[in-house]
Amino acid sequence: MEETLLITKALSDGTRLRIISALKGGELCVCQVVELLKLAPSTVSRHLHILSASGLIRSRKDTRWVYYRLADAGSPKKAARALKWVQGALEGDASIIQDSQALKKITRVSREALCRTQGKR
Amino acid sequence: MEETLLITKALSDGTRLRIISALKGGELCVCQVVELLKLAPSTVSRHLHILSASGLIRSRKDTRWVYYRLADAGSPKKAARALKWVQGALEGDASIIQDSQALKKITRVSREALCRTQGKR
DNA sequence: TTGACATTTCGTCATTTGACGAATTATAAT
DNA sequence: ATTATAATTCGTCAAATGACGAAATGTCAA
C-alpha cells in the first residue's frame, strides 16, 4: 500500500503532472523545468524529489547539472504502469499541450538563456 | 487537467484506496463501509463524496440507505481506466486482503449488527 | 584558491486535508 | 405525530502540503 500511495500522492499535484508530461519528450535538467514552470528552483527541486521517491522519474548527474527522465526499464513495474496510465489520462490536455509548445522554445535556446556558463563557451 | 486531478487527488489517500478495493466485491451501504474502516460516519461520508465527485464510484439511494459501487458502463471513461490501473496496483496488497476478510464477516451479519431496523423485522 | 553557478536542504508561512462531533435532512417505525 | 435511524453537511482543530528565500553542497571557471 505504501508504494502505491507514494505514487498516487506524487500524482495528486498539477505541477507534478506537468513535469511528467514535460519529460515525455526526453530528459531535462532542473533549470529547464524551472523555466517551464516559472517556479522557484527550490520548489521545483522538491517536486522532482517527490516524483523521484515514488519511482516515477529517475535522475542522472552530469557534472554540474542533474537531468531527470521518466522511469524506464530499470524502474519498478508499478511505476511504469502508473506512468502509462497517467500519460493516457493527460493526453490532449490543453495545459499540457501549451507546456509542450513552451518546451520547444526552451530546449532550443536553453543553453544560452538558462545555463550561461555552458552558453559562454 | 482538472478532471484528472480530481481522480489523482481522490486516489491519494489510503482510506479511499481501501474503499475502492472494498467495493470490488459489489455495492456496499455507508454503514458497512463505516464498520470496515472504523471511522466516524461523517468522515466516511466525506471520503465517499470525494470519490463520487471524481467519478470513480457512484451511488444509489434505496429507501433509507445509500449504496455505493464502483464506476461502471455509465461512468466517464477516464474514471474506468483509473480504476483499472489502481486495482492492479493494489492487487495482493496486505491491508487490502485483510479488509476483504473483514468484509466477509460484515456482509454476512451486517443487517443485524449495523442496520438494526432492518434486522428486527 | 577564489568566485560563480546548478541544485538541494531547511525554516517559515499560508493553504489544504483528514478526523471528529454537533446539527440537519430524509425516511421508516411506532 | 413522534421517535428513531442512515446519511450528509458544517464548524473546528491538528497535521500535511506547497511555495518561497536563505543557507548549504558540489562542481566548474578564472
The tens digit of pLDDT for each residue in A78-90 reads: 999 999 999 999 9
Average pLDDT, chain A: 91
DSSP summary character for residue A54: H
Q: Indicate yes or no: CB of A8 within 8 angstroms of CB of B17.
A: yes
Mean pLDDT, residues B53-69 taken together:
95
- Gap from B13 CA to D15 C1', Å: 14
Q: Look at B93 and A5 and tell me if their CB atoms are within 8 Å.
A: no
For A17, the closest of B1, B94, B95 (CB atoms) is B1
Strands A65-70 and A57-62: antiparallel
Query: Residues A77, A84: contact at Cβ < 8 Å?
Result: no
Euclidean distance between CA atoms A17 and B55, whole angstroms? 19
Looking at CATH, the fold of the domain delimited by A2-116 is given as: Arc Repressor Mutant, subunit A (1.10.10)
Sole residue written with cell 559562454 = A120
CA B60 to chain centre: 13
- Kindly state the DSSP code that residue B60 receives in the 8-state scheme: E
Under an 8 A CB cutoff, do B4 and A90 touch? yes
Residue closest to D26, CA→C1'?
A: A64
**Residues in A touching B17 (Cβ below 8 Å):** 1, 4-5, 8
pLDDT (tens digit, 9 = 90+) per residue, B74-88?
Answer: 889 999 999 999 999
pLDDT (0 to 100) of residue B115:
57
Q: What is the CATH architecture assignment of B2-120?
A: Orthogonal Bundle (1.10)
Q: Where are the alpha helices (DSSP H) in chain A?
A: 2-11, 14-22, 30-37, 41-54, 77-90, 94-114, 116-120
Q: Which residues pair with A68 in a beta bridge?
A: A28, A59
Structural contact between residues A18 and A96, judged by C-beta atoms closer than 8 angstroms: yes
Residue A24: how many CA atoms within 13 Å on its side-chain side? Answer: 19
Residue spans per domain, chain B: 2-120
CA distance B68 to A94: 32
